[in-house]
Amino acid sequence: MSSKVNKVSEAVIKRLPIYHRSLTDVIENGVERISSSELSELTGFTASQIRQDLNNFGGFGQQGYGYKAVDLRAQIDKILGMDHTYNTIIIGAGRLGSAIANYSEFRENGFNIQALFDVDPEKIGKEIDSFPVISGDRLEEYIETFNIDVAIVTVPREYATDVIDRLIKCNIKGIWNFAPIVISAPENVVIENIRLNDSLLSLSYHLKEKFFKEVE
């Protein structure tokens, strides 16, 4: 069987984690085979959308037999790069940084956290979840010495631009950014943003529309 994978669109990539999560759920419940209509019920996507998405990865499903859950998940793992490991640091040892250090999905997804960085002398030299907290001054040196692939940025907004500039200069490969800033990134860095504030404003908008709309 060919393991060749076609170029997959961004929209499919966004749905893969959702398939992955549903497959993990059913595998944990002992399910061996799953049909596109069962996946449809779990994910909310239509069965035809699911079949079309999964067709991208070669001849998986068998008409009338459904997908073998373990094999399909392994294939998705591979496509999502979950068979790789990434040396990862967290910038900012505040509550958000600590919450992320504690987040078990990282290790499962191959993001191996090595250390946290902070500028607060009270935190430097201590440990959070057995990860050392290191002075921000040593960021560049550490990234080079320990071949760090990915940095998770949890510093307050006012420091974020400077931190991200420094990371880009060190040739970091990936940045998972929680700071509410607009980043113009060079080609050779992958940046993924979590926009908490934008999400909150979207919630606010929809609440207003549904519940607090003035009669005009």
Give residues in contact with its own copies (CB under 8 A).
4, 13-14, 16-18, 20-22, 42-44, 79-82, 84, 86, 94-96, 98-99, 102-103, 105-106, 109-111, 149-150, 173-174, 176, 180, 182, 184, 188, 190, 192-212, 216
Q: Compare residues 13 and 137 and give the one whose CB is closer to its own copies.
A: 13
Degrees to nearest 5, angle at CA 128 with 136 and 92: 35
Q: Compare residues 70 and 196 and give the one whose CB is closer to its own copies.
A: 196
The alpha-carbon radius of gyration of the chain (Å, integer) is 21
CB of 153 to its own copies, least distance (A): 12
Burial of 187 (0-12, 13-18, 19+ CB in 10 A): exposed
Token pair of 88, please?
Answer: 């990862």
Known binding residue 139? Answer is no
CB of 184 to its own copies, least distance (A): 7
Known binding residue 44? Answer is no
CA distance 119 to 137: 8
Q: Compare residues 17 and 125 and give the one whose CB is closer to its own copies.
A: 17
Known binding residue 66? Answer is no
What is the SS3 assignment for 176?
Answer: strand
- Residue 151 contacts residue 91 (beta carbons within 8 Å): yes
Residue 122 neighbours by CB distance under 10 Å: 9
Q: Compare residues 62 and 204 and give the one whose CB is closer to its own copies.
A: 204
CB of 63 to its own copies, least distance (A): 26
Known binding residue 207? Answer is no
Known binding residue 92? Answer is yes
